[in-house]
Every structure is written in C-alpha cells, then in structure tokens.
Amino acid sequence: MKVPLIISEPPPEFGELKTNPEFFNPSGMDQDLTYVPGFSELRFARDSAILEVMQGKRRANEVPTLPVNFRWARCQNKKGDPDNRKVIRAGNRGYRLVTKDQVGEGKLLRELPAGARWSGDGTILRGDTVLMVADAERVARNEFNKRARTASATRGAEAGFAAALEAVGGKPSAGAAPFISKELGHRTRAELSPKTKPESKAKEA
C-alpha cells in the first residue's frame, strides 16, 4: 500500500515557478536597463555569433552586422531640470530623436520600450533619458574616428615620454624606447546560476 505524499509547506505567494525558454534569456528586458525591443535581440545575436567564431563553430564573415544603433541620451541634470547637452553631443555624431510616428509594426521600432513614455513633442522618454538612433554607416564612422583619436593620443604620449627623458639628459638604450602597449586580461566566464563552493573549515590554532 502506497502512502500518499503529504505537502507540509504552503505554495509560494505567487504560485509555483514554471520555467520556459525565455526564463534564462540574457537579452530580455529584465536583464538590460537599456533594452530596446527588436534591437537588443539583434545585438545579442551578434555577440553570440562572435562567441561561436571564437569557439570555431562559425566563420568570421558570417557574423551579422547591425543596421542602426540606438542609445538613451540623458536629457536632465541631477536636479531634474532639462539639460540637452548630451542630446546635442549625440546629434553632432549623427544621432536623431526617435519619434512617435516611427513606432509600430513594420516601422523602425516595433513597440514602445518597457517603462518608457511619450513626451509632449512625440519623443520617447525613460527616466531622465531620451531615445535616439543613428544609421550604421554613421556609427561606423564615429567608431573609426574614435580609434584614430586614441591612436594619435598614444603616439603623442610615446613621443612625450621620449622628450621628457631627453630633457633630463637621458637617452633610451637600443630597443628600450618608451612605448605604450595594450594587454588583454584573463578570460572570465559568467554563469546565470554559479555553483557555490563549499566553505573551507577553519584551521585550528
């Protein structure tokens, strides 16, 4: 004779949790405060493809590119007063405000991002930021210019080190001229549910 199981604990306040394919989706809006419907999924797909290239599962030329880039630009200061300096800076780099007529099925943005609202002029606000977008070609040019400025600053720093050394009568030996190098850190692995390590027993004195 089988004895039926007796449930000794009441169910959770909001019921039993039922997992689904979206439960551990790192590209979902609950994992990303800058989430933009449709675009965030494209970005995650690209990142996943790059990982597959590093693992030897995909060719490099098969990695998808992004058609546009969205960004949330701050439009208020710490006191909550209007401050469009960062909006103007983004505009100078080719970004434009996303408006109400660009949201909907088959349009630039399929739906309003969670937690966002319409402003009086039809732009999209969330907290103290406003949503902006730029075409891929302009974003690529911005990235190229950024790298060029970094390379120029690096060469200038190297020349400055050498000049400072000469100013005090020093002279670098052959093969020992000042230079700046970039080193990559150790790879890290992020886990959604990391395994806890057993606590080590304290050693007796």
pLDDT of amino acid 157: 75
* Sequence ranges of the domains in the chain: 18-66, 67-167
β partners of residue 130: 73, 125
Q: Coil, strand, or helix at residue 55? A: coil
Q: What is the tens place of the pLDDT at every residue in 125-157?
A: 999 999 999 999 999 999 998 888 888 888 777
Between 91-95, 155-159, 181-185, the lowest mean confidence (pLDDT) is in 181-185
pLDDT of amino acid 204: 47
Q: How far is Cα 50 from Cα 44, in angstroms, rounded to an integer?
A: 10
pLDDT of amino acid 91: 96
**Count of residues for the chain?**
205
pLDDT of amino acid 28: 58
Q: What is the tens place of the pLDDT at every residue in 45-94?
A: 999 999 999 999 999 999 999 999 999 999 999 998 999 999 999 999 99
Is the overall model pTM greater than 0.75, yes or no?
A: no
Rounded to a whole number of angstroms, the distance between the first and last alpha carbons of the chain is 55
Average pLDDT, the chain: 81
C-alpha dist (Å) from residue 45 to 41, 51, 166? 6, 10, 51
Q: How confident is the model at residue 199 (pLDDT cuts 50, 70, 90)?
A: low
User: Could you give the angle at the alpha carbon of 108 between the alpha carbons of 104 and 111, nearest 5°?
Assistant: 35
For the segment 103-123, the average pLDDT, to the nearest whole number, is: 92
User: Could you give the angle at the alpha carbon of 98 between the alpha carbons of 93 and 100, nearest 5°?
Assistant: 165
pLDDT of amino acid 205: 40
Place of tokens 């434009």: 96
Q: What is the DSSP letter of 16?
A: -
β partners of residue 133: 70, 96
